[in-house]
Structure 1
Amino acid sequence: MTDWAAAAKLGVAAHDDVAAQLEAALASDDPEDRRFDDYELVERLGRGGMGVVFRARQASLARDVALKFVVGGANDAAAVARFVAEARAAARLNHPNIVPVYEVDVVEGLHYFSMPMLAGATLAQRLDERRVERDEAIALMVTIGSAVDYAHRLGLLHLDLKPGNVLFDERGEPLVADFGLARAMDADGGVDGGDVSGTPAYMAPEQHDAARRLDRRTDVYALGAMLAELLRGDAPDADLDAICRRCLEPDPARRYASAADLVADLARRRDGNAVSVRVPAWHERWRRSVRQHPAAAIAVALAFAMLIAGLAATTSQWRRAEAARADAARQQARTAQLAGLTAAAFPQGEGTRAAQAASAGNAVAWLQRHLAGDPAAQREVLTAFRVALAQAGKAEAVTALLDEIVDRMGADYRERAVRRLFAGRTRDGTIAAALVGLPRGAGEHGSDVYESALAALYTSYGDDAYALYVAALACHVQPLPCEHPEYRERLVERFPDNGAHWIVTPRGSAPSDDDIAAIVRRAAQAPAFDDHLGESIALVRGATRATEPPPSLVEPMRALVEERDVAPSLRRRAIDAAPLPVYGDVVRVCRPDGAAIARVAGLRDACGTLAQTMMRAPRASILAKMVGSAMVRRLYPNTPLAAEAYDLRRQYVWLGERALGAPNDAERLYDDTIAFGEWEAFGRQADRRGAARTPPAGWQPLDARVLMLPEERDAKK
């Protein structure tokens, strides 16, 4: 068998030796020589400055994957750091047009991560093979730009966008790949320049100067260079020429401010509308108007004729015509605004929650850019947008849009609540301030008052388990890295007997699989598991009663819900947003087919113990129970334990269909969650509605996939 540790050591002396060792293994006729952990190397796909990519067969899941190795070896700190940064950056992204990362690991000193094996060529190869038509180029850049905007909204700059880093899947869909140079943006929305890196033909001028800042506009430059290359051989029309020139401005301040703005202009060009970077001549506007809105064009012509006639009539007739013209202009402006909002939102796709959230995020970002400070106009455009969603069969997207409005436009509302709650320096008020003021969006950080509230929980309530838990939980779920690991350290030191306390590692601490395994082993020793959801609901519920939402939030919400429902809807969303631990790392290291559980002694038993505790704990949230049941089903297939876990999932789906009803039911559900825990609250809600707590024998939901594990659903596709 190949000595992979020796291969890794060779990398200290020369990068090529590691690649040569891998190539030698690949050339062997013995399958055991080609085996690397759970994979068998099949062929080399490519080689970059610090990595080499192979096609491999994953034995446990019987699938082809792409394996990327760092060729610098385990002791080449710079190469490993950049390689791990790529893997971590890509693993954060969950978008249909970004190449996902399956697994990140290190075996005997050799770092690697696995990705799906995409069947199609790269965009660079497609350009070499044939000319890309103009409409195809626009469609490609709308999709690619939307994916880049998604990465930006999660705080990541790609910094190496080029046709060679766009891959196509078997459906012909483009996916953005290779986040090897990606960097996380700081609180100011950018990063400091560093060593010159990237591909020169697509690098913005500021990438060549280590002293300059890089931000979203740096990636916009690369997108513009890609668009220009796609249009080569096809003289762009005036709109596309203006779009390219705006992207490729040497001064970042003169470029599009974001990839979303670029996508919106491309969508306008695609749909035959005027773009933001060029004012069309009057005859162009007239042709577009006649082509897109013939009835409106006739109406305008008639209005103009009436105006001419009015000049020869009385002054009152002229004034009426002028008023009609002004009304038409206002309506035309609103129509243009709705078109811009639609263009910003709809390109993200439809169907999945992630796609709806992305579209909603684009829509709200557009409102904040183009109608900032005008809540009445926001309400008017959103009302028309809601109607358009219903007509397009996308009425369910209103919920995602409402959530995004509350998250993005409600920052001032939440900040006032934080100041009011923390002003009294009481225990409950300080905890409520920490829960209500939790930063929501990518790149958003807490205010000084919010950070003071968290610090007060640590310093003033060091012997209060729930107060310490909230400080550690806020540090765990906030979007930016947390600078206070001491919150969790004191929590687990003083209150180690609650398994939930061990899960809330600080955001940005980037624990290794071995670190997470140690956390799982320690959490498994805890006799209880309580993520304090009832206590959080009680405090947030009380805190939101006295805060009146401002007009800047009320007006856009009135476009989506009845006016009488604005305050209750805002309050319910604040309660439902009460934070819970994130279990992704625990689930990953506890997968029975993962590398960690095979390598770390005792981890499988610890995972099983923790999963059963979560699944059976009376005060655990339903999220914790469902995570525990899924872990049990994976760890103990075809056993009575797995059957118990499956029945729990089945009962949850049954109760969910019967316990959730009218909005006024929510208050009683909150009461019961506070008093008895969320699972019992669902049962009591079913009792009140005359439904059994457990499904009858043989019952199945209409969509049986909701009972499956994610990997089982994927296998059914």
Structure 2
Amino acid sequence: MTDEEHDSGVAYLNPAEGAVAPPPVAPPPSRDSRGSGPARTLLLGSSEHPVDEPRGHPVVRGLIPGQVVAGRYQVERWLGSGGSAMVHEVIELTTGAHLALKVLAVPGADASQIARFRQEVEHARALDHPNIVRVYDVGVDGDRHFLTTELLVGMDLKRRLMGTRPTLAEALRWLTHAAAALEHAHGRGVLHRDVKPGNLFLTKPGILKLMDFGLAKSSHVAGVTAQGAVLGTPEYMAPEQISGAHPVTPATDLYSLGVVAYELLTGQLPFRHPQPVPLMFLHVQQPPVPPRTLTPSLPEPFERVVLKLMQKHPEQRYPGAAALRSDLARLWPLALPPKATSR
């Protein structure tokens, strides 16, 4: 999957760009590159592809404008694709609402892939917050597994970071929105487990939304993770996700958000390596370079927040997203330009 593809598979719609015709053939993900890039979601310890996976380039049966899915969703246009899903804008025929339809596009998907895809809805149904993408429905149409979400207009943070460096005020607003989303999810027993720029969507009005709960874990939905599996994205994974030395808790999501904050404020990831396993162990073993070493103009209180989020031991991080939000609120005087003195 390239940087131009939307890896989360949830609606991507940039009004500044025209819709692109969907590719008729989708090559399978390279086994050599699986898990080895900022857009990859890593799955170790279980089979990501079935053993009898067809060789060559399997044809992904895309949807065409006017086609009706499950008797109620009429396809308007193709929006994008990710590693295992294609996304279309659709109209719900009963209400006339415009939604995003996410279709699992992996031929011969195994049972665990399908279960994770379907449980995204079960996790998200427990959540109702302006900073979390709304997931509505899940179903099957023939051999297609699909889910529907609200249609988002804007771009994900991963794509935004390819442009100009955000201002301090922008970064602070986005981090505050993400913290509010995590506070809501954690308060309802849902851990995201894959917080990264590709899963943080910036809407046209400037609201950040947390999306893609396909790897989430919650107290009210049975998990489907195989024993020994490591789930997450290597660049953003907390040490305990990798080593198993501590249980996965809300502090795990906060660490990942700390990596996002580091990237927002310095323009760089704290740890990089061309191979995913050595990269993950940098998170376990190596402290990050202090952000002000890379960005000397960064106010010191911003650096303190980032380094606290990225502590190796979960108990040394913030006790919860609410405490993080409180500290972020105190940073606003440092992020806003000084008022012009009156003459």
Q: Is the TM-score greater than 0.5?
A: yes
TM-score (norm 2): 0.66
Report whether the alignment pairs 1:89 with 2:123.
yes
Instruction: List gaps (5 residues or longer) in structure 2.
Output: 1-48, 268-294, 335-343
Instruction: State the match for 1:246 in structure 2.
Output: 308
Instruction: State the match for 2:260 in structure 1.
Output: 226
Instruction: State the match for 2:43 in structure 1.
Output: none
Report whether the alignment pairs 1:177 with 2:211.
yes
Instruction: State the match for 1:140 in structure 2.
Output: 174
Q: CA deviation at 1:54?
A: 2.2
Instruction: State the match for 1:36 in structure 2.
Output: 69
Instruction: State the match for 2:324 in structure 1.
Output: 262
SS in 1 for 2:229: coil
Q: CA deviation at 1:160?
A: 0.6
For 1:23-71, what per-residue CA distance to the aligned partner results, in whole angstroms no more than 9, with x for missing partners? 2x43xx8x3xx33222233444333344332222333332321111223
For 1:647-701, what per-residue CA distance to the aligned partner results, in whole angstroms no more than 9, with x for missing partners? xxxxxxxxxxxxxxxxxxxxxxxxxxxxxxxxxxxxxxxxxxxxxxxxxxxxxxx
SS in 1 for 2:133: coil
Contact 1:91 1:101 in 2 (8 A): yes
Q: CA deviation at 1:269?
A: 1.8
For 1:463-517, what per-residue CA distance to the aligned partner results, in whole angstroms no more than 9, with x for missing partners? xxxxxxxxxxxxxxxxxxxxxxxxxxxxxxxxxxxxxxxxxxxxxxxxxxxxxxx
SS in 2 for 1:95: coil
* Cα separation, partners in 2 of 1:74 and 1:19, compared to 1, 3 Å: closer
1:39 and 1:156 map into 2 onto residues whose CA distance is 29
Contact 1:73 1:111 in 2 (8 A): no
SS in 2 for 1:213: coil
Contact 1:18 1:71 in 2 (8 A): no
Give the letter for the 2:132 counterpart. I
Contact 2:255 2:309 in 1 (8 A): yes
Instruction: State the match for 1:48 in structure 2.
Output: 82
Superposition map of 1:12-161 within 5 A: 14=53, 20-23=59-62, 25-26=63-64, 31=66, 34-37=67-70, 38-72=72-106, 76-161=110-195
For 1:409-430, what per-residue CA distance to the aligned partner results, in whole angstroms no more than 9, with x for missing partners? xxxxxxxxxxxxxxxxxxxxxx
2:300 and 2:97 map into 1 onto residues whose CA distance is 47
Contact 2:60 2:105 in 1 (8 A): no
1:86 and 1:220 map into 2 onto residues whose CA distance is 20
SS in 1 for 2:59: helix
Contact 2:121 2:136 in 1 (8 A): no
Contact 1:221 1:247 in 2 (8 A): yes
Q: CA deviation at 1:105?
A: 1.8
2:319 and 2:120 map into 1 onto residues whose CA distance is 25
Contact 1:220 1:259 in 2 (8 A): yes
Query: Which piece of structure 1 moves more, 86-95 or 69-78?
Result: 69-78
Q: CA deviation at 1:264?
A: 1.1
Identity %: 33
1:185 and 1:254 map into 2 onto residues whose CA distance is 24
1:242 and 1:45 map into 2 onto residues whose CA distance is 39
For 1:104-146, what per-residue CA distance to the aligned partner results, in whole angstroms no more than 9, with x for missing partners? 2222342211011111111111121221101221121111101
* Cα separation, partners in 2 of 1:15 and 1:132, compared to 1, 3 Å: farther
Q: CA deviation at 1:79?
A: 0.8
Give the letter for the 2:147 counterpart. F
Q: CA deviation at 1:210?
A: 4.3
2:55 and 2:206 map into 1 onto residues whose CA distance is 34
Contact 1:42 1:55 in 2 (8 A): yes
2:192 and 2:54 map into 1 onto residues whose CA distance is 25
2:105 and 2:219 map into 1 onto residues whose CA distance is 27
Q: CA deviation at 1:15?
A: 8.6
Structure 1 residue ranges, 4+ long, deviating more than 6 angstroms after superposition: 15-19
Q: CA deviation at 1:86?
A: 1.0
Instruction: State the match for 1:489 in structure 2.
Output: none
Contact 1:42 1:56 in 2 (8 A): yes
2:202 and 2:58 map into 1 onto residues whose CA distance is 26
For 1:257-303, what per-residue CA distance to the aligned partner results, in whole angstroms no more than 9, with x for missing partners? 2111111111122256xxxxxxxxxxxxxxxxxxxxxxxxxxxxxxx
Instruction: State the match for 1:624 in structure 2.
Output: none
Give the letter for the 2:93 counterpart. A
Contact 2:179 2:321 in 1 (8 A): yes
Residue 168 of structure 1 is aligned with which of 202, 221, 232? 202
2:305 and 2:226 map into 1 onto residues whose CA distance is 27
Superposition map of 1:286-297 within 5 A: none
Name the larger-Rg structure: 1
Q: CA deviation at 1:211?
A: 5.7
TM-score (norm 1): 0.33
2:57 and 2:113 map into 1 onto residues whose CA distance is 13
2:300 and 2:102 map into 1 onto residues whose CA distance is 42
Instruction: List gaps (5 residues or longer) in structure 1.
Output: 1-10, 273-717
SS in 2 for 1:93: coil
What is the root-mean-square deviation in Å for CA atoms of aligned residues? 3.1
Kindly indicate whether structure 1 or structure 2 has the higher relative contact order, using CA contacts under 8 Å at least 6 residues apart. Answer: 2
* Cα separation, partners in 2 of 1:19 and 1:57, compared to 1, 3 Å: farther
Q: CA deviation at 1:92?
A: 1.4
Superposition map of 1:524-563 within 5 A: none
Give the letter for the 1:261 counterpart. A
Contact 1:227 1:244 in 2 (8 A): yes
Higher strand share: 2
Report whether the alignment pairs 1:237 with 2:299.
yes
Give the letter for the 1:20 counterpart. V
